[in-house]
Copies of this chain bind each other. A is one copy, B any other.
Amino acid sequence: MNLLLLEPEDIVAPGRAIVKGRRLTHVQDVHKAEIGHTLRVGELNGLMGEAIITRLQKDVLELDFTLDTEPPSSLPVTVLLALPRPKMLKRTLQTLAAMGVKKIVLMNTYRVEKSFWQSPWLKPEAVREQLILGLEQARDTVLPEVILEKRFKPFVEDRLPEMSQGMRKLVAHPKTDELCPSDINVPTVLAIGPEGGFIPYEVERLVEYGFECVHLGPRILRVETAVPVLLSRLFH
């Protein structure tokens, strides 16, 4: 936790917050903080700054804070991710949030196992928790938007065209000769398939709607590795 993120309900008066639960435990056990110490803080979806610990007890952390710094800039990308298995989903959500992605679509594809959609890790509060962990790691305050699309075809046909209007559209797909471009730094929609990849029908639909297939070389990477590799290649 490189930034303590304050939620609206933590702020009890202007410039004063009371924090409990996981963040309190982390400040006590990991930071080993004491009264008078300063912490980096941020307001969820707001500015960042510093706080002084004014009270620290077993069940309460009180802070006086000042916010004066903009959060780091975000990446101009919407990531369409075939829903990964729950363990991978958790880590990938953290990574996406940490790297500055602000719009994430978790979508169904043929090779997504049906059971993945039943995972408790897909509940809004569980998704939000992973995103918060990513923001705390990277020192950012802006919560990404996560959209669930349980049916591939209606999503691609009915909603994707508007969502991707005016943006460059890339799909990571090993069966192409086109190496993923670097430093494009333009608004982009990036589609990443499931374990085993997209099926040809899905790639054809995406290409029909303006997507370019790009590959990352002969190595097959897990989604949690492919995500940082693709993002750091596309955006500097």
Q: Which residues of A contact B (CB under 8 A)?
A: 2, 72, 95, 98-100, 137-140, 179, 182-183, 217-222, 224-225, 228-233, 236
Shortest Cβ distance from A232 into B: residue: B229
> Is there an interface contact between B233 and A140, defined as CB atoms closer than 8 Å?
no
- Cβ–Cβ contact B221 & A72, under 8 A: no
List the B residue with the shortest CB-CB distance to A69: B218
The interface residues of chain B lying within 8 Å CB-to-CB of A137 are 220-222
A72 pairs with B139, CB closer than 8 A:
no
Given contacts A183-B182, A232-B232, contact A140 B219 (CB under 8 A): yes
Copies assembled: 2
Closest chain B CB from A25 CB (angstroms): 17
CB pair B139 A220 closer than 8 Å: yes
Given A182-B183, A236-B182: A138 and B228 within 8 A (CB)?
no
Compute how far the CA of A138 lies from the CA of B139 in the bound complex, rounded to whole angstroms. Answer: 31
Quick one: which of B98, B217, B225 contacts A95, CB cutoff 8 A? Answer: B225
Q: In the complex, A125 Cα to B97 Cα: how many Å?
A: 34
Q: Is the CB of A221 within 8 A of B99?
A: yes
Distance from A47 Cβ to chain B, minimum over Cβ atoms (Å): 14
Identify A219's interface contact among B139, B218, B224, CB under 8 A: B139
Question: Which single residue of chain B is at the shortest CB-CB distance from A179?
Answer: B236
A218 touches B182 (CB 8 A): no
A182-B236, A183-B182, A233-B233 known; A2 and B220 CB under 8 Å? yes
Given contacts A182-B236, A183-B182, A236-B182, contact A72 B229 (CB under 8 A): no
Report yes or no: A217 in contact with B98, Cβ–Cβ below 8 A. no
